[in-house]
Structure 1
């Protein structure tokens, strides 16, 4: 019997089909994008960007019918700030990026309209967007936040109450402007919230993007920041506290697409209770054109009890050797006993020492918001979490 092999090993198509189109994505920027839901295959949970997400709980947001229109919210007034409703086919929509996943494409196709928030004042203005009137109805939303050149602003999005929401948030940071956008998730315990935040940062402009996730059954916030002009600076910070049965997920993409750009990414989370699950994926891409880049990303997780799960995956792609620096770090663990011992040596009880460590761990991010009232309220929310924890 002849065993001579006449064909190259691996030359035939695999049994799973579509062999010619299944080449792995070589870089983060190659991920497929479309505003059309039909262009995306059905989500199975095996995809690289969905494999940690409880997709079975999210079928209506991924591919079901959604309620569109103007999202019920209260938007504060400020000098040099205009809020308008624009159609989805407006030239103002799509400048910061288009969907990379099915949930975002479903929201794009059914949002019907977008809210456009434009900040033009050179003096720092604060705009608060309060969302308190959503329901369990599957809902789509689209928001565009934009700063004119040289403008200064702080936009705070407060999410509370019930929700079953999938949305796209676009952020357009004009040349020389400084913008901080804060997204706070304090949803009710049964809420589902999927959000794609696409950002483009102009020449010599600065963006600070802060996510605080405390409430909700399933929360998935994915910021994609594109440093598209020379001298652009992007900073992404996050704080989260996952309780039993709660899934909090953040996928951050920092795209250096111009010379002498700078980025910092730092997310910190605490977890307690059976089934508490936190996911953080950090992608940094330094393109060939991004000479002089300075970049660093990190994720730190503090597990307070048994039965929690953390998935923390930093990724760094560098296409040029002409950079100032780039690095990443990820840690997950229990309390540092040296810190606890030090506090106890100062007369603080062990339980209070552990709570102090958690406070300091998370408040380091919250203090970056730059609004004392919001910072104090979030610190109180963390205190409430700690009072209900096993540390109390």
Structure 2
């Protein structure tokens, strides 16, 4: 039986049957404690596209929340472990679903990455030995006011992980965060990235999903300061049996804020699956907002599936602009015909079209070594599919 408490809020003042639908994306229940959430079912809006039967302990069980090994290549960026009593933990947002709450409940120490100074700095934090034990993790990226930095989270190897990443972008700061998921083929990874963007601050957040069995990286961006600006980018390439998912929430909560959200993916092989849900909320407190979101998927073979759901909620009549777009489809026959008519073999023409399609996002990342790595990975995927 459907538990209506999952979908409803408090009773309306006029009376009635005791429950009313949640009318706004901002109305979702949130808590740091996993015990406050009901067990996950396919009736839950935030889980209905996810293969929850494969997630096991990440949703319901005990998780190893101890420290893990990592390496950091940093120039002007510090990294340290902090106890969960540290005041910075929980300063950005609160979990809105059970997987995120379970990770929050189980982690012991948080990895804190701090960006300071107005000169550009950068750091690459690499994890490659997390193993197959079900784990919880918590990371904080703290960009101090007027700082300027790039932080790359480079993930590889075996994994069975649920984690939260809090990103605080201080007033006047400029921060780029790139999260690369290049896990082993059996890897399972649930992550929620919470970002808070201050006055006249800018965040570029990039999610790159290349490998793993189930990879779900959700990004929540809260624009709390006037003039805040966020650009959310994502690129992914799903092979047979892989599930890559991204649920994005952009919350405009201050005047004259701006957001751009653009995610693109390619899928090939039986049961390759991609899910993108984009929610944008423009509150009454955010006049002058300028927002646009899009998701596009290229289905390279039979047996693939892409779910793409853009949502736009506007609570003020004073906006600079707001829109969204979504498209999933196969190769453009006219493009292929044009290339073949000029002597290009069909397979090479197909690879060129895919590279051009994904390059629209790759070229925006702004980190040359990540762009080159992505292009090489995509080329390997395409050549492998042709062999």
Query: TM class, shorter-chain normalised?
Result: over 0.9
* Aligned equivalents of 1:280, 1:217: Cα separation in 2: 17
Shift of 1:16: 5.8
Distance 1:374 1:313, change over 3 A: same
Corresponding position: 1:353 with 2:346: no
- Unaligned 5+ segments in structure 2 are 9-16
Corresponding position: 1:180 with 2:176: yes
Instruction: Name the structure 1 match of 2:251.
Output: 255
Aligned partner of 2:64 among 63, 67, 92: 67
Instruction: Name the structure 1 match of 2:336.
Output: 340
* Aligned equivalents of 2:191, 2:2: Cα separation in 1: 35
Corresponding position: 1:24 with 2:29: no
Shift of 1:373: 1.8
Corresponding position: 1:377 with 2:373: yes
Deviations 1:230-263, CA, capped at 9 Å, x for gaps: 0000110100111111100000001000000000
Shift of 1:344: 1.9
Aligned length: 377
Instruction: Name the structure 1 match of 2:138.
Output: 142
Q: Which shows bigger deviation, 319-328 or 16-25?
A: 16-25
Instruction: Name the structure 2 match of 1:57.
Output: 54
Corresponding position: 1:282 with 2:282: no
Shift of 1:22: 4.7
* Aligned equivalents of 1:374, 1:71: Cα separation in 2: 24
- Max Rg structure: 1
Instruction: Name the structure 2 match of 1:39.
Output: 36
SS in 2 for 1:244: coil
Q: What do you get for the CA RMSD once the two structures are aligned?
A: 1.5
Instruction: Name the structure 1 match of 2:14.
Output: none
Deviations 1:343-380, CA, capped at 9 Å, x for gaps: 22332112111111111111221222222222111211
Q: Which shows bigger deviation, 313-322 or 23-32?
A: 23-32
* Aligned equivalents of 1:17, 1:253: Cα separation in 2: 23
* Aligned equivalents of 2:27, 2:234: Cα separation in 1: 26
* Aligned equivalents of 2:255, 2:196: Cα separation in 1: 15
SS in 2 for 1:52: coil
Corresponding position: 1:48 with 2:41: no
* Aligned equivalents of 2:4, 2:163: Cα separation in 1: 33
Is this contact kept in 1: 2:64–2:136, CA < 8 A? yes
SS in 1 for 2:310: strand
* Aligned equivalents of 2:3, 2:370: Cα separation in 1: 51
Pairing 1:191-206 to 2, within 5 Å after superposition = 191-206=187-202
* Aligned equivalents of 2:309, 2:74: Cα separation in 1: 40
Is this contact kept in 1: 2:2–2:43, CA < 8 A? no
Deviations 1:118-144, CA, capped at 9 Å, x for gaps: 100211111101110110100000000
* Aligned equivalents of 1:51, 1:296: Cα separation in 2: 25
Instruction: Name the structure 2 match of 1:214.
Output: 210
SS in 2 for 1:77: strand
Distance 1:149 1:365, change over 3 A: same
Deviations 1:20-76, CA, capped at 9 Å, x for gaps: 565322111111110001000000122000000000000210011111122321112
Distance 1:346 1:361, change over 3 A: same
Distance 1:344 1:169, change over 3 A: same
Corresponding position: 1:264 with 2:264: no
SS in 1 for 2:75: coil
* Aligned equivalents of 2:153, 2:343: Cα separation in 1: 40
* Aligned equivalents of 1:248, 1:107: Cα separation in 2: 20
- Unaligned 5+ segments in structure 1 are 1-13
